[in-house]
Structures are given as structure tokens and as C-alpha cells.
């Protein structure tokens, strides 16, 4: 869980809820392009290599639902969790999930 919100009264835990924030991973790397750019000098006449990195949608789809189920089960077993868990997701990820076949 990325965050836990807790309600504490007189030093005693009253209730809590989990907050899962789904971001997105990237694929590939930009190491070679960054290294070339960082060491660029006036005599450089070549091209900066393309990074070929991108958004890793497959990883988001592969991990998301199992994570929510597993964490939801943990939170559902506590009497101090009255409302499950909160799931925060960027709009683009939410829209892509809705279009996934």
C-alpha cells in the first residue's frame, strides 16, 4: 500500500484506510542517450542515440488487478477499516484499462 490514512483519538487507533496510487512504469532505458548528451562537446558530429524507452502498459495491466484484490482482502479483514481502500489512478491509465480487451 502506498499510503495509510489513520484516525487516531486520544492516542488510540480508531480506524484506517489504505490508499493505492497506480503510476506507470517505463520500458527500455535512456542511459546511452543521456551519457552521450552529458558528454557532448563542440567537436561532436554524431547523433545522440535514441532511448527507445516508452510506457510499460503491459506491466500495469499485469499487476493492477491482482494488487487490488490482494490488498483489498487484507483491508477487508480488519474491523478498523470501514470503507475498503482507495485507488488513485492517472486519467490516461484509467481510460486505457476501460479499453483493454
Residue 13's pLDDT is: 96
42-99 confidence digits (pLDDT tens): 677 777 777 777 888 877 778 888 888 888 888 888 999 988 889 898 888 888 777 7
Buried-exposed string 45-81: b where 16+ CB fall within 10 A, e elsewhere: eeeeeeeeeeeebeebeeebeeeeeebbeebeeeeeb
Nine-digit cell at 72? 483489498
Residue 55's pLDDT is: 80
Cα–Cα distance, 52 to 59 (Å, whole number): 17
Cα–Cα distance, 27 to 54 (Å, whole number): 5
Residue 100's pLDDT is: 62
Residue 15's pLDDT is: 95
pLDDT of 101 strictly over 60:
no
Cα–Cα distance, 49 to 31 (Å, whole number): 10
Residue 81's pLDDT is: 93
Q: At 1, is the secondary structure helix, strand, or coil?
A: coil
Amino acid at each position: 500500500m502506498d499510503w495509510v490514512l489513520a484516525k487516531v483519538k486520544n492516542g488510540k487507533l480508531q480506524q484506517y484506510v489504505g490508499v493505492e496510487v497506480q503510476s506507470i512504469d517505463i520500458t527500455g532505458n535512456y542511459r546511452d542517450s543521456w551519457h552521450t548528451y552529458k558528454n557532448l562537446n563542440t567537436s561532436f558530429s554524431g547523433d545522440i542515440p535514441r532511448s527507445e524507452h516508452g510506457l510499460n502498459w503491459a506491466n500495469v495491466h499485469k499487476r493492477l488487478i491482482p494488487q487490488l484484490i490482494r490488498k483489498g482482502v487484507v483491508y477487508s479483514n480488519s474491523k478498523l477499516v470501514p470503507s475498503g481502500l482507495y485507488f488513485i489512478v492517472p486519467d490516461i491509465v484509467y481510460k486505457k484499462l476501460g479499453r483493454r480487451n
